[in-house]
Amino acid sequence: MTGDSAIAEVLLPLALDGPYSYRAPAGLRLEPGAYVSVPLGPRQVTGVVWSLGSATATGRALRDVSAVNDMPPLSETHRKFVDWLAAYYLEPAGNVLRMVLRAPGALEGPREQIAWRAAGTVPKRMTPQRARVLEIAREGFALRAGELAEAAGVGVSVVKALARDGALEAVALPALRAFATPDPGAGGFALSADQQAAAEALRAVVAQRQHKVMLLDGVTGSGKTEVYFEAMAAALAAGGQVLLLLPEIALTPPFLARVERRFGAEPAAWHSGLRPRERERVWRGVAEGTARIVVGARSALFLPWKTLKLIVVDEEHESAYKQDDGVPYHARDMAVLYGSLGRFPVVLSSATPSLETLVNVDRGRYGVVRLRDRHGRPELPEIGLIDLKRASPEPGQWLSPPLVDEVRRTLAEGDQALLFLNRRGYAPLTLCRACGHRLECPQCAAALVEHRFRRQLMCHHCGHLEPMPPACPSCKAEGKMVPVGPGVERLAEEAALQFPEARIAVLSSDLARGTLLSDALRDVEEGRYNLVIGTQLVAKGHHFPHLTLVGVVDADLALESTDPRGAERTWALLAQVAGRAGRGAKPGRAMVQTYLPEHPLMQALRKGDRDAYFAQEKAIREQAGLPPYGRLAALVVSGPDGPDSERFARQLGHSAPLAEGVSVLGPAAAPIAMVRGRHRWRLLVKARREVNLQAYLRLWLKDVKPRGSLALQVDVDPYNFL
Ligand code: ADP
Ligand code: ZN
């Protein structure tokens, strides 16, 4: 019997639903939230003390906590956050904790502040594992033993043995650079009256030190960023940490520089591209409270906040806040949850707020501050619809005569035009004119997209690449493969014929992120190009002062999807793209090509009437019981074998409990029925708003165990319907 010795319940970053019990040896000072090292089988694992208690006489011999780290403990709010998030998304709490502990090295003590690099000598014994470690060690960066082992896919013992042999040499890691303390009053403009009123409203909310969500609503360029900076300044002045969440692609060096100018201190940045040592620096800085401002992508929510007092979610409508793999969570929604657990405000900023957020404003749950355009411009430029049924382009072309005329006129006047088409590559489909064979990805049930600049076919679902075949793979006919439909590259070809004088730039994510894209954007901004052809990449807040015409080549694309938010997304995207026109001195206009000019969305767009559009969309959603008026969860079954996956999905469907206010749709083959060689079946659970959807799912799934290579993914509040 263990008597009354202390017991630590330790949550481990593994797929476990709850903490494991360990004995706290006398002399170890443990507190809830402490980071500890505990034995698990033959390994030592880092976990977090979830709670402390005294031993009930179970008679079971518990193992001892091995060591405790001297980091400040993970706050109670953060631990609650992990538990709530896990319960909400039906995820093992340990998987959520793993997202918190995602900075390997950060918990290493002073003795581990060494890294290893290749010494240039050959070890006494060589194995394939050792060779892999040495290969990585020769690449130049000194890495910690753990990082080196992970990169090489071997155990740490291999690294240690190489070090003993003298094949690796130790170097001291440089100390982590300290964070400068921000000055809430450092930069900033003299705000306009509108901005001042909005900033005052947000500051007042921050001063209340309570949970409150505020929507900051205003077109791009209306000065929202400067306004939420004021809210951040107030939270900083009150001694708190602040988190500014951005969609990853908006997290650019110029934006970070802007934050630095405003607060006189470089903010901590958190995104997927950070080097291990920098991750460690930010993680520790957040845990210790020295990193006061973090500008981060969605996963920054999980950093071990010490005194978080404000979260700002910029571009709150962005679907990039939803993570689909791993733990599927929505960072905007979880930011609101965190604020309610931590009793602090959350600011949601957007030029095109999501319907969810607008409905929360309607219901009085969220507050709102609105900003008018600082230059007195209307919300949207003048928008004209082009009915493609009447003004059809020539066969094999996509620009209608009225749009061609408009572009010509714009270029002749010395202004810039933008043609928007949300499709990368040359053509979305290639088929054989002789036998009708379509080129498809071998791993996915999806057409391969031709990328002519790269001379390759690409699968947009798994990244598979292959060269264009010289003959049809099916009937062997030569020279019969034809592209079907346009991508931006093909549109550029058409534009070059129509506007031979134009200086054309094609902007899509194929330019990758790095300098290519930022150079191209700068060249457009400075007017070196006068005709821009781009995907949604150009819709995101870039400021092109010479742009006066936006042509939307295919406005119907997103409307055709099975996504219940398809129309809402179309609205946001078209409003954003149209809004690129006329941001400089001259007014702008947009022309939208559509086969559905009578569609209420197109009509509302033409009138620039957002309220009318959302009123319509709310009615549709309410009628259909879709979010935010009802709740959804998607269950996706996948497996390497088609019939197996289908059988399991059907059994799953049959075992769905009957419940008032819940309906289960499907299973049906997913719209993309195979991805990366896995056959996919979907079920959709639709529930009324008052239903406890999680309880229903738990009841249903408690005994469901996909066998072998079958997998079941549960996606609460899904955004992906493919
Ligand atoms: P939004 O976040 O709504 O897109 P920003 O805050 O980025 O708008 O403002 C758009 C541009 O106007 C930025 O270049 C910003 O520096 C500038 N700006 C914003 N507010 C002011 C102000 N009060 N005085 C001068 N320039 C301002
Ligand atoms: Zn594929």
231-282, pLDDT tens digit by residue? 999 999 999 999 999 998 888 888 999 999 999 999 999 998 888 889 999 9
For residue 3, the model assigns a pLDDT of: 47
Q: What is the spatial distance between Cα 150 and Cα 155, in angstroms, rounded to a whole number? A: 7
Instruction: Please provide the average confidence, as pLDDT, over all residues in the chain.
Output: 92
> For residue 176, which amino acid is it?
L
Helices 253-263 & 224-237, crossing angle to 10 degrees?
50
Nearest Cα to Cα of residue 534 among 523, 518, 550, 555: 550
Question: Does the CB atom of residue 187 touch ligand 1 within 6 A?
Answer: no
Choose the residue to mutate in 195, 217, 226 for probing ligand 1, maximizing ligand atoms within 8 Å of C-beta: 226
For residue 346, the model assigns a pLDDT of: 98
For residue 655, the model assigns a pLDDT of: 96
Question: Does the CB atom of residue 192 touch ligand 1 within 6 A?
Answer: yes
Contact 400, 388 (CB under 8 A): yes
Contact 230, 184 (CB under 8 A): no
Question: Does the CB atom of residue 189 touch ligand 1 within 6 A?
Answer: yes
Question: Which residue CA neighbors atom 9 of ligand 1 most closely?
Answer: 223
pLDDT interval class at 61 (50, 70, 90) = confident
Q: What is the spatial distance between Cα 479 and Cα 468, in angstroms, rounded to a whole number? A: 11
For residue 601, the model assigns a pLDDT of: 92
For residue 311, the model assigns a pLDDT of: 98
Question: Which residue CA neighbors atom 25 of ligand 1 most closely?
Answer: 189
pLDDT interval class at 2 (50, 70, 90) = very low
Taking residues 13-32, report their average pLDDT: 92
Residue 277 belongs to what H/E stretch? helix 276-288
Question: Does the CB atom of residue 223 touch ligand 1 within 6 A?
Answer: yes
253 class by beta-carbon count within 10 Å (0-12 exposed, 13-18 middle, 19+ buried): exposed
Question: Does the CB atom of residue 579 touch ligand 1 within 6 A?
Answer: no
Q: What is the spatial distance between Cα 363 and Cα 623, in angstroms, rounded to a whole number? A: 17
Question: Does the CB atom of residue 222 touch ligand 1 within 6 A?
Answer: yes
Compute the distance from residue 450 Cα to the ligand 2 centre, in Å: 13
Compute the distance from residue 189 Cα to the ligand 1 centre, in Å: 8
Q: How far is CA 457 from CA 93, 187, 440, 447, in A?
A: 41, 49, 9, 9
For residue 58, the model assigns a pLDDT of: 61
Nearest Cα to Cα of residue 353 among 158, 220, 201: 220
Structure tokens at 575: 């409003």
pLDDT interval class at 227 (50, 70, 90) = very high
Question: Does the CB atom of residue 466 touch ligand 1 within 6 A?
Answer: no
Taking residues 624-653, report their average pLDDT: 96
Q: What is the spatial distance between Cα 216 and Cα 676, in angstroms, rounded to a whole number? A: 40
CA angle 90, 96, 101 (to 5 degrees): 175
Choose the residue to mutate in 200, 216, 374, 576 for probing ligand 1, maximizing ligand atoms within 8 Å of C-beta: 374
Compute the distance from residue 438 Cα to the ligand 2 centre, in Å: 14
Cis before residue 667, ω within 30 degrees of 0? Answer: yes
Helices 401-412 & 488-498, crossing angle to 10 degrees?
70
Q: Among residues of the chain, what percentage have pLDDT more than 90? A: 73
Flag whether pLDDT at 376 surpasses 50. yes
Question: Does the CB atom of residue 218 touch ligand 1 within 6 A?
Answer: yes
Which ligand does the CA of 195 lie closest to? 1
Provide the edge-to-edge strand list for the sheet that holds 6-11: 20-23, 6-11, 43-54, 35-40, 67-68
Flag whether pLDDT at 31 surpasses 70. yes
Compute the distance from residue 440 Cα to the ligand 2 centre, in Å: 8
Question: Which residue CA neighbors atom 6 of ligand 1 most closely?
Answer: 223
Radius of gyration of the chain (CA): 28
Residue owning tokens 């319960």: 87
Summarize pLDDT for 78-114 with one digit per residue, the tens: 999 999 999 999 999 999 999 999 887 778 766 667 8
Q: What is the spatial distance between Cα 634 and Cα 715, in angstroms, rounded to a whole number? A: 5
Question: Does the CB atom of residue 191 touch ligand 1 within 6 A?
Answer: yes
Flag whether pLDDT at 522 surpasses 60. yes
pLDDT interval class at 544 (50, 70, 90) = confident
Question: Does the CB atom of residue 221 touch ligand 1 within 6 A?
Answer: yes
The more confidently predicted of residues 112 and 439 is 439
φ and ψ at 199, to 5 degrees?
-65, -40
Nearest Cα to Cα of residue 635 among 717, 695, 712: 712
Which ligand does the CA of 442 lie closest to? 2
> For residue 715, which amino acid is it?
D
φ and ψ at 105, to 5 degrees?
5, -25
Question: Does the CB atom of residue 430 touch ligand 1 within 6 A?
Answer: no
Question: Does the CB atom of residue 224 touch ligand 1 within 6 A?
Answer: yes
Flag whether pLDDT at 636 surpasses 90. yes
Question: Does the CB atom of residue 225 touch ligand 1 within 6 A?
Answer: yes
Which ligand does the CA of 220 lie closest to? 1
For residue 1, the model assigns a pLDDT of: 41
Compute the distance from residue 256 Cα to the ligand 1 centre, in Å: 15
Question: Which residue CA neighbors atom 23 of ligand 1 most closely?
Answer: 191
Choose the residue to mutate in 225, 230, 318 for probing ligand 1, maximizing ligand atoms within 8 Å of C-beta: 225
For residue 563, the model assigns a pLDDT of: 87
Q: What is the spatial distance between Cα 311 and Cα 333, in angstroms, rounded to a whole number? A: 12
Taking residues 43-52, report their average pLDDT: 94
Which ligand does the CA of 461 lie closest to? 2
- 192 CA closest ligand 1 atom index: 23
Question: Does the CB atom of residue 195 touch ligand 1 within 6 A?
Answer: yes
Compute the distance from residue 652 Cα to the ligand 2 centre, in Å: 27
Q: What is the spatial distance between Cα 554 and Cα 657, in angstroms, rounded to a whole number? A: 43
Write out the DSSP string of 120-173: SPPPSS--HHHHHHHHHHTTS--B-HHHHHHHHTS-HHHHHHHHHTTSEEEEEP
Compute the distance from residue 369 Cα to the ligand 1 centre, in Å: 16
**HEC assignment per residue over 323-376:** CCCCCCCEHHHHHHHHHHHHCCCEEEEECCCCHHHHHHHHCCCEEEEEECCCCC
Question: Does the CB atom of residue 188 touch ligand 1 within 6 A?
Answer: no
C-beta atoms surrounding 518 within 10 Å:
14
Compute the distance from residue 368 Cα to the ligand 1 centre, in Å: 19
For residue 497, the model assigns a pLDDT of: 96
Contact 481, 431 (CB under 8 A): yes
Nearest Cα to Cα of residue 567 among 371, 355, 361, 377: 355
Taking residues 197-215, report their average pLDDT: 97
Summarize pLDDT for 301-356 with one digit per residue, the tens: 999 999 999 999 999 999 999 999 889 999 999 999 999 999 999 999 999 999 99
For residue 561, the model assigns a pLDDT of: 74
Compute the distance from residue 224 Cα to the ligand 1 centre, in Å: 7
For residue 72, the model assigns a pLDDT of: 94
Structure tokens at 553: 């080549």
For residue 4, the model assigns a pLDDT of: 56
Question: Which residue CA neighbors atom 20 of ligand 1 most closely?
Answer: 223
Q: What is the spatial distance between Cα 667 and Cα 656, in angstroms, rounded to a whole number? A: 11
